[in-house]
Amino acid sequence: MCASKINRERTLLGSVLTNRCPHCRQGKLFANPNPYQFKTTMRMPEHCPVCGQRYELQTGFYFGTGYVSYGLSVALLAVIFVGWAVLAGLSFRDNSIFWCLGTGIAMLIALQPVLQRLARSIWIAFFVRYDKDWATSGQNTEIFV
């Protein structure tokens, strides 16, 4: 069989990282693929264009993404801090700790649109189950958990 004909299903991690619908793992979660177009960064369609899954399960559903975004931000800063400590060392004598902190803050600000989208993708993946037979199951709209 030709390698291009193999039907490869996305994993949960793959669908979260590529911002795909957690129900079918094919439809896009965001209307615009570029997170740095700030007017449309968080714009999402109401339903998945592939399987019909509602993206906002209830009013205020995405308020919980603040906790996920906070965790992602802390994890990013921890990775930067550990990486800086291993590669360059940290010291108050040469102000390297302040350079590390400045680098971490700059990267956090630069990656904020990506982290916000990732937080939404993780949050909806907590609540919507994957159904590999969604096309034949007949329940391809209004899926709640």
pLDDT above 60 for 59: yes
The confidence score (pLDDT) of residue 12 equals 86
pLDDT above 70 for 67: yes
The confidence score (pLDDT) of residue 88 equals 82
Distance CA(121)–CA(16), nearest Å, equals 5
Identify the band that residue 140 occupies on the pLDDT scale cut at 50, 70 and 90. very low
The confidence score (pLDDT) of residue 7 equals 54
The confidence score (pLDDT) of residue 10 equals 79
Backbone dihedral angles phi then psi of residue 20, each to the nearest 5 degrees: -110, 160
Q: Which residues contact 114 (CB under 8 A, 6 or more apart)?
A: 35
Distance CA(124)–CA(144), nearest Å, equals 10
pLDDT above 70 for 5: no
Which of residues 24 and 6 earns the better pLDDT score? 24
Angle at 87 between CA 82 and CA 89, to 5 degrees: 75
Tokens at residue 117, please? 């989208």
pLDDT above 50 for 11: yes
Q: For 85-91, what is the mean pLDDT?
A: 84
pLDDT above 70 for 142: no
pLDDT above 50 for 31: yes
Query: Where are the chain's structural domains?
Result: 65-125
Q: For 101-124, what is the mean pLDDT?
A: 94
Identify the band that residue 143 occupies on the pLDDT scale cut at 50, 70 and 90. very low
pTM of the model: 0.80
Distance CA(124)–CA(16), nearest Å, equals 9
